């Protein structure tokens, strides 16, 4: 059984460190608690593992017996049934959230505001899971973009995770929601007689309503910058690539004279690549740097600093072609590049 194997591994590691522990004496039982904190209620689900036996929870006898053949959406392999049911469940009044998520549909970013420490946070769009954060400290605000990833929760085995995913989807009725994995449970552990050998708790806060707000977030990043583009004209040139064909054209213009040619980056749907090519230069030592940029509506504007080698500098005595490639985190229709004096260097429309 997975739980027993985990115990054996932990005890073996402890033994290697010089400590001496005893294995659980039979009969024994373990408790895995899933604490659901829904907006409408708090629920505590208990799964039992170990040997068939009778235990007492706050004066109530719980008969733990081997898994039954009766089908149940809440049944977990290896878990004991309790009083004829696949789990023990208590429903309580709702609790204060202590954590919330806000969403900006324009930038596709989430702001996570948490008063309590989190192990992770997740977003479900009605079909797929996305990770929002890793561990966050208490009293923290984080601005993040979702990353497609299958749901992972600490302490839950595969069967429990399957039940949790199914239950959350059923209660959401196809609507998006955010799931927070709290580092500490809200409720204290139950008191059993006899005491369980192992008691694990996963505390899960569910947010069904996600307010929409504007979240300031950087809307671009530098992908590549260099001096040896395949662009051979002397005048500055810009290219805005928002399609697969456009990205291939931009990449060939930047790296067409390199063998092997580097692979283009993975560009998320709705993102664009903007390229600026300064033009052919007689020596090395030229480079392009971004001093400021903004993306508003369908227009992206960048101010560039064009740096030439100082007089007498040692430079490569060969033709160079400085370039800069940016990723824009939203669809745009036009890009414009300016120098430090505000003079237009080059512009391009989406292709």
Q: How confident is the model at residue 71 (pLDDT cuts 50, 70, 90)?
A: confident
What are the tens digits of pLDDT across the range 319-340? 999 999 999 988 899 999 999 9
What are the tens digits of pLDDT across the range 214-257? 876 677 888 889 999 999 999 999 999 999 899 999 999 999 88
**Percent above pLDDT 90 for the chain:** 66
pLDDT of 263 > 90? The answer is no
Question: Strand 299-307 vs strand 334-338: parallel, antiparallel, or unpaired?
Answer: parallel
CB 151 within 8 A of CB 165: yes
* pLDDT for position 23: 64
CA atoms within 13 A on the CB side of 133: 27
Both tokens of 119, joined, read 């192990």
pLDDT of 21 > 90? The answer is no
* pLDDT for position 26: 81
What are the tens digits of pLDDT across the range 80-122? 999 999 999 999 999 999 999 999 887 788 999 999 999 999 9
Per-residue pLDDT, averaged over 342-348, amounts to: 96
**251: three-class secondary structure by DSSP:** helix
Per-residue pLDDT, averaged over 21-37, amounts to: 86
């Amino acid at each position: 059984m997975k739980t027993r194997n985990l115990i054996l591994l932990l005890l073996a590691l402890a033994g290697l460190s010089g400590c001496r522990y005893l294995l659980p004496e039979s009969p024994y039982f373990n408790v895995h608690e899933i604490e659901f904190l829904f907006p409408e209620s708090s629920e505590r689900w208990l799964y039992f593992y170990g040997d068939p036996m009778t235990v007492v929870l706050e004066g109530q006898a719980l008969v733990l017996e081997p898994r039954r053949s009766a089908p149940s959406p809440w049944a977990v392999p290896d878990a004991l049934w309790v009083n004829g049911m696949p789990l023990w469940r208590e429903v309580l009044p709702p609790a204060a959230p202590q954590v919330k998520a806000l969403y900006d549909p324009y930038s596709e970013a989430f702001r996570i505001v948490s008063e309590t420490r989190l192990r992770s946070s997740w977003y479900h769009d009605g079909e797929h899971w996305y990770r929002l954060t890793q561990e966050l400290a208490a009293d923290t605000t984080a601005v993040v973009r979702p990353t497609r990833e299958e749901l992972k929760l600490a302490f839950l085995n595969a069967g429990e995770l399957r039940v949790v995913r199914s239950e959350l989807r059923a209660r959401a009725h196809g609507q998006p929601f955010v799931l927070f994995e709290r580092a500490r449970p809200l409720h204290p552990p139950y008191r059993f007689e006899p005491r369980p050998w192992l008691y694990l708790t996963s505390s899960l806060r569910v947010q069904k309503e996600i307010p929409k707000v504007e979240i300031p977030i950087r809307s671009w990043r530098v992908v590549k910058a260099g001096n040896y583009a395949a662009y051979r004209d002397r005048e500055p040139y810009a290219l805005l690539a928002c399609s697969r064909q456009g990205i291939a054209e931009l990449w060939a213009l930047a790296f067409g004279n390199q063998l092997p040619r580097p692979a283009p980056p993975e560009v998320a749907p709705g993102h664009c690549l903007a390229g600026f090519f300064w033009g052919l230069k007689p020596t090395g030592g030229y480079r392009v740097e971004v001093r400021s940029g903004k993306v508003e509506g369908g227009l992206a504007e960048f101010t560039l600093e064009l740096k030439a080698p100082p007089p007498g500098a040692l430079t490569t005595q060969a033709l160079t072609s400085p370039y800069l490639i940016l990723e824009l985190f939203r669809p745009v229709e036009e890009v414009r590049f300016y120098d430090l004096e505000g003079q237009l260097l080059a512009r391009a429309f989406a292709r």
